[in-house]
Amino acid sequence: MAEHKKTEKLTQAAVLGRVFSYMRRYLPLLALSLVLAGITVALTLYFPILTGKAIDLILEKGRVDFSRMFLILRDGAVVVALTALAQWLMNLCSNRMTYRIVRDIRKDAFATLERLPLSYIDSHSHGDIVSRIIADADTFAEGLLMGFTQLFSGVAAIVGTLGFMLAIQVKITLVVVLITPVSLFAASYIAKKTYVMFREQSAARGEQTALIEEMIGHQKVVQAFRHEKEALERFDEVNGRLRDCSLRAIFFSSLTNPVTRFVNSLVYAGVGITGALSAIAGGITVGQLSCFLTYANQYTKPFNEISGVITELQNALACAARIFELIGEKTEQTEEGAGVLTEADGSVDVENVCFSYQPGQKLIEDFCLHVSSGQRIAIVGPTGCGKTTLINLLMRFYDAQSGTIAVSGHEIKSITRESLRRNYGMVLQETWLKNGTIRENITMGKPDAAEEEILAAAKASHAHNFIRRLPEGYDTVVTEDGGNLSQGQKQLLCIARVMICLPPMLILDEATSSIDTRTEIRIQKAFDTMMQGRTSFIVAHRLSTIREADVILVMKDGRVVEQGNHEELLARQGFYAGLYNSQFSD
């Protein structure tokens, strides 16, 4: 498995910077949301003033100014209606902005995934990658949606409330200002701690997703080898760590609300006592005292909300960090100035190529090979000798550490990967079909293929007969990874996929391993027709399938130890002869 250098962990400030860079794309929605939040806060703070005026109109029993009271009630109803409308529009803008941002992040993450080198995919858990793009993005959306509007509204409410209180009585306002920093320091301290804890929670959740995906994808093997108990024990262990991480994060973050509520109670008590003394001394009216107490509640309420929001934001930012780390991974280098290989003649030259997946573990050393146009090259050897690795190097799934590989006289690093791979047709032992119709799977490499071409490719690969027996024929929908087809049927479709393109070079890596003997004979005849005039690389374990190859490369420990055709290699009585005879000995 390839080793891929991990990116450094993003700091909280760096994550916030990335989030704001996405938010800048939707500045109109952001600005409108902020304006509406300001209007909502202003109207909410104006309502207690009307309430205070109404209280002051109640002079004593039997002396109430109902005419002015009616006007105040009318104004209050208008304020409440406008507040509700502004809040609804603000939420609408925030929702639209949030989900567009998450859409863009997911799009960028998936685009990065498509451009990541194969070494990254090989060295990282697939379930963890899926968890980043789906689960972490959802958590980030929920935190951003809840956090953004409430955070701004809370800050605006605090500032606005202080302004209104200063306009009524400076001394009482100072009591509020002096007690407030205690709440801020407590919330800030807890927030820094929870960010690290939520990162651990997200990582454990990704590990759990990877395990579940692994067990679902290989449930037949798990049950066949009676591995259910071990799998359950492994799940319990991961699930237990996720539980512990979650409990620590949630418990520690939940301390924020009680701490801020305690401080807020002190603020309310301070305002009540100071305001009551001022009212007795004639400094403020009873209505103004009522207004002040309402403001004290409205001033402290945002601190409680912000403390909860901070918890959600820490979780959201921790998840966002994991997504941005994926987006920030080093992708395959953009090939500026690289040429385009239009129509390869099929010649391949490999000179002094050295490659290893991990430093210090040698695999391919000083590998040399010359392939003429139209030759059939069979690659054989024991497991782990480098056969599939050579294919990876030819296709530029990996780049050699030293040496050169040239196709049609062009060094492959000087041409685009897309144009190089367009000139190869590949059938692997490991079949893969996408979720779609039979027709869509066959035409994956040639979406504009005519119906006649599809039928011809299916017939040539001997897939037409079983396709015709399917309920919807070529329009039958294949489930995930071809789950409703046999392994042999899936391999026939993969062969048809190559036959419809007929590129100048072919790679057949155990292409008939899952097909019965009679069908294999017919497929070999189809391959013979397809390989006419085309350079073909054939990786095979069953040596009986490569007798007709022009050149057989016998690999061992990353080197070509023998080279020649079938008869020549048997006559040498060397390593190939030993491999061949071992397959037919008793």
Average pLDDT over the chain reads 80
157: domain CATH number is 1.20.1560.10
Instruction: Read off the pLDDT of residues 119-174 as tens digits, 9 standing for 90 and up.
Output: 788 778 777 888 888 888 888 887 776 676 677 777 777 777 777 777 777 777 77
Same domain, yes or no, for 281 and 393?
no
DSSP 107-123: HHHHHHHHHS-HHHHHH
Same domain, yes or no, for 268 and 378?
no
**Quick check: is 5 in a domain?**
no
**Quick check: is 333 in a domain?**
no
Same domain, yes or no, for 308 and 388?
no
Window from 18-22, 193-197, 547-551 with minimum mean pLDDT: 193-197
**Quick check: is 395 in a domain?**
yes
pLDDT greater at residue 256 or residue 399: 399
Instruction: Read off the pLDDT of residues 502-541 as tens digits, 9 standing for 90 and up.
Output: 888 888 887 776 667 776 777 777 777 778 888 888 887 7
Distance CA 165, CA 443 (A): 71
Judge contact between 344 and 408, C-beta under 8 A. Answer: yes
508, two tokens: 């057949």
Instruction: Read off the pLDDT of residues 350-366 as tens digits, 9 standing for 90 and up.
Output: 898 888 887 777 788 88
485: domain CATH number is 3.40.50.300
pLDDT of 5 strictly over 50: no
Same domain, yes or no, for 301 and 156?
yes
Helices (H), 169-224: 170-217, 219-224
Instruction: Read off the pLDDT of residues 88-126 as tens digits, 9 standing for 90 and up.
Output: 998 888 888 888 888 899 899 888 888 888 878 877 877
Distance CA 237, CA 232 (A): 9
pLDDT greater at residue 541 or residue 432: 432
**Quick check: is 342 in a domain?**
no
- Greatest pairwise CA separation for the chain in angstroms: 124
Same domain, yes or no, for 529 and 388?
yes
Residue 196 vs residues 2, 291, 316, 319, 469: alpha-carbon distances, Å = 29, 41, 12, 11, 57
Instruction: Read off the pLDDT of residues 281-307 as tens digits, 9 standing for 90 and up.
Output: 777 776 777 777 777 776 767 766 666
Judge contact between 350 and 403, C-beta under 8 A. Answer: yes
Residue type at 42? A
Query: Can you say how many angstroms the Cα of residue 434 is from the centroid of all Cα atoms in its chain?
Result: 19
pLDDT of 578 strictly over 80: yes
Same domain, yes or no, for 305 and 406?
no
pLDDT confidence of residue 61: 61
pLDDT of 3 strictly over 60: no
pLDDT confidence of residue 335: 66
Distance CA 448, CA 199 (A): 46
Same domain, yes or no, for 274 and 377?
no
Same domain, yes or no, for 460 and 514?
yes
Instruction: Read off the pLDDT of residues 200-254 as tens digits, 9 standing for 90 and up.
Output: 888 888 788 878 877 776 776 777 667 778 888 888 888 888 888 888 887 877 7
Same domain, yes or no, for 389 and 421?
yes
Owning domain of residue 31: 12-327
Cα–Cα–Cα angle for 418, 397, 449, nearest 5°?
Answer: 40
Question: In terms of DSSP bridges, do strands 410-411 and 559-564 run parallel, antiparallel, or are they unpaired?
Answer: unpaired
63, two tokens: 């002396």
**Quick check: is 437 in a domain?**
yes
Distance CA 50, CA 82 (A): 15
Structural domain tally of the chain? 2
Establish how many alpha carbons lie within 13 A of residue 298's alpha carbon, considering only the half-sphere containing its beta carbon: 26
**Quick check: is 343 in a domain?**
no
The model scores a pTM over 0.85:
no
Residue where the block lists tokens 């990254």:
120
Same domain, yes or no, for 24 and 89?
yes
Residue ending a domain, choose from 297, 327, 357: 327
**Quick check: is 379 in a domain?**
yes
Same domain, yes or no, for 447 and 506?
yes
**Quick check: is 87 in a domain?**
yes
Same domain, yes or no, for 434 and 368?
yes
